[in-house]
Amino acid sequence: MEFKELDIDGLFEINLKPHVDERGFFMRTFDNNEFKNNELQRDWVQENHSRSEKKGIIRGLHFQVEPYSETKLVRCIRGKIFDVAVDLRKGSKTFGKWHGVFLSEENKKMFFIPRGFAHGFCTLTDISEVVYKVDNFYSPEHERGLLWNDPDIAIEWPVTNPILSIKDQKNMTFKSFIEHG
């Protein structure tokens, strides 16, 4: 595993190292010692699996407020996605900034997103499957979302007219998050 710190403090791109032969490949997708050596060790309490049937779906930008804020370790196991994290840590020098990573079954990368970030992704293939670990339990009462196209965040999504859930169409603006949390 290769851990690459990104331009926003706390975000990491993790490159997996598959052993490939004529049968296919084998790779470790998690190694507690490797995460500990990179000071990213967490107590993962849930693993989620998301399947999207069409290209151009945006899921997010989702987050949970304290005490249910969560770290995510995201991997695309089928298809390809553009995965995004937005810094919501008030007082951070990168507050309100975003970073995106292309994750796919081919590149076998993972995206480590610490607590205090909103997270979302856009599907770039008709079938996309995403698996991610979290270090806190889901709490519907603490779930929030930011609008995917909020101009104050200005994410450069690879689509202009995405397929959205009704819930995600009603997410709050970044200004509303600043005012109300």
| Residues tagged active-site | 62, 132
Element (H, E) at 128: strand 128-134
Cα torsion 30, 135, 41, 89 to 10°: value is: 120
105-136 burial string, b = 16+ CB within 10 Å, else e?
Answer: eeebbbbbbbbbbbbbbbbbbeebbbbbbbbb
| DSSP codes of every residue in 27-64 | --S--HHHHHHTT------EEEEEEE-STTBEEEEEEE
